[in-house]
Amino acid sequence: MFGLVVRFTLKDPESAGGFDELVGQTISKIRDNEPATLVYAVHQVEGQPLQRIFYELYRDRAAFDFHEEQPYIKRFLAQREDYLSSTVVDFLNLQSVKGVEGE
């Protein structure tokens, strides 16, 4: 499995609304078109209204690469910059799991 966590900091409340709308448009396409994307969870951080955390888990690196090449993801990556003040990405090495079938 291949995973990552992304922390987005949004510019302001208006940007948060636009970002959340963009995420909503994108995540439905991920659900419909990416069976090897095992988990794609978007979280708002309690007490931090301008923070969003994405937790992404893919069957393998090839599934992540496939995800990144989709036109709706390229659109998301380009448009998200309008709303963000910062992005932090952490790539993960899975050690153990419950709830997702391992390989």
Locate the domains of the chain by residue range.
2-92
Pick the closest to residue 8 from 39, 45, 56 (CA basis): 45
2-92: CATH number: 3.30.70.100
**Average confidence score pLDDT of the chain:** 95
4 burial level (CB within 10 Å; 0-12, 13-18, 19+): middle
| pTM over 0.85, yes/no | yes
Q: Which two tokens stand for residue 98?
A: 């419950």
Residue 86's H or E segment, with its range, is strand 84-92
pLDDT category of residue 98 using cuts at 50, 70 and 90: confident
Res 26 pLDDT > 90:
yes
Give the span between the Cα atoms of 40 and 37, in whole angstroms.
7
Q: Each residue of 63-94: pLDDT tens digit?
A: 999 999 999 999 999 999 999 999 999 999 88
Which spans in 1-103 are helix H? 13-33, 61-69, 71-79
pLDDT category of residue 102 using cuts at 50, 70 and 90: low
